[in-house]
Structure 1
Amino acid sequence: MQLNREWLLERYTFRLVWSEEDQEHVGLCDEFPGLSWLDPTQEAALAGIRQLVADSLDEMIKDGEPLPTPIAQKAKE
């Protein structure tokens, strides 16, 4: 798999949900189930989770850790 951060960010599955408990939008990435980002607007929640995933990818690449395979790619295998 290609190790380019931007390539992966364009292929990961991001979604937004509303949290009744927090009264905010929650940004999620299916390939990183332990990460989330809360924000009052959908746009900011998406931007926040994308940046959090990008930062995580940078650390994983730096540390030589395996990167999560995009869900869409798993379906092809």
Structure 2
Amino acid sequence: MSRLTITLDDQLHRALKETAARQRRSIGSIIEESLRLRGIRTYDSAMEIVSKARAAAGLEPDEALELAVREVRQLRREKKT
């Protein structure tokens, strides 16, 4: 597992620590969950989405990629609200 150092505003860091303690979770697990909820994926995972879309829709590669990008953007917009 990789390690990462980040700089946070003091209030945000305190809120993150309090949330982790309240939920009995690590700060890292909260950050990982947040990244996943924001749609952060590996390249391989993104390509899997494209392959599935292409196979299901019979699209050309460029069309499938465009569809996948649209779907991911829509999902991110929905999660903001």
After TM superposition, the score normalised by the length of structure 1 is 0.35
Instruction: From the two aligned structures, give the one with the greater helix fraction.
Output: 2
Instruction: From the two aligned structures, give the one with the greater strand fraction.
Output: 1
After TM superposition, the score normalised by the length of structure 2 is 0.34
Bigger relative CO (Cα 8 Å, ≥ 6 apart): 1
